[in-house]
A = this chain, B = another copy of it.
Amino acid sequence: MAFRGDDVNLRDVAALAKVSLSTASKALNAKFDVSEQTRGRVIEAAETLGYRPNMLARSLTIRKSGTVGVIINDLERNFALPVLSGVEDALSDQNIFPLLCDARGDEVRERLLIRELLARKVDGLIFIGHQTDKRPSHGDSLGVPTVYAYAQSESETDYSVSIDNHQVGELATQHLIDTGRSQIAHISGEAPHSASRDRAAGFLSVLRSNNLKPATRPMFGDWSEGWGRAAVQSLLKRDVHFDAIFCASDQIARGVLDMLHHEKISVPDTVAVIGVDNWEVIAANSRPALTSIDLNFQRLGRKAVHQLSSDLVQDEGPGTVRIPGTLVIRDSTVVRS
Task: Tell me the number of copies of this protein.
Answer: 2
Contact-residue bracket for chain A: 35 or more
- Note all chain B residues with C-beta closer than 8 A to A116: 95, 97
Tell me the chain A residues, 228-272 only, with Cβ under 8 Å from chain B. 251, 254-255, 258
Please tell me if the beta carbons of B120 and A55 are within 8 angstroms of each other in the complex.
yes
CA–CA, A70 and B88, complex, Å: 12
Given contacts A1-B143, A70-B100, A97-B100, 11 further A-B contacts (CB under 8 A): A2-B143, A3-B118, A56-B56, A60-B60, A75-B81, A92-B102, A97-B117, A98-B100, A99-B100, A226-B285, A279-B281
- Note all chain B residues with C-beta closer than 8 A to A209: none
The 8 Å CB contact of A54, one of B101, B121, B251, is B121
- Note all chain B residues with C-beta closer than 8 A to A254: 285
Tell me the chain A residues, 114-128 only, with Cβ under 8 Å from chain B. 115-121
CA–CA, A255 and B285, complex, Å: 9
Chain A 49-79, CB-CB to B under 8 Å as 1, else 0, gives: 0001111110110000111001000011010
Please tell me if the beta carbons of A6 and B143 are within 8 angstroms of each other in the complex.
yes
CA–CA, A337 and B256, complex, Å: 27
Please tell me if the beta carbons of A3 and B99 are within 8 angstroms of each other in the complex.
no
Which residue on chain B has the smallest CB distance to residue A254?
B285
- Note all chain B residues with C-beta closer than 8 A to A141: 1-3
Which residue on chain B has the smallest CB distance to residue A102?
B88
Can you list 15 pairs linking A and B with CB atoms under 8 Å apart?
A2-B141, A3-B142, A54-B121, A55-B120, A57-B60, A60-B60, A70-B100, A76-B81, A92-B102, A95-B116, A97-B116, A98-B99, A98-B100, A99-B100, A251-B281
A222 within 8 A of partner (CB): no
A131 within 8 A of partner (CB): no
Please tell me if the beta carbons of B101 and A92 are within 8 angstroms of each other in the complex.
yes
Which residue on chain B has the smallest CB distance to residue A57?
B60
A27 within 8 A of partner (CB): no
**Given A82-B76, A97-B101, A282-B281, A121 and B55 contact (CB-CB distance below 8 Å):** yes
CA–CA, A120 and B65, complex, Å: 9
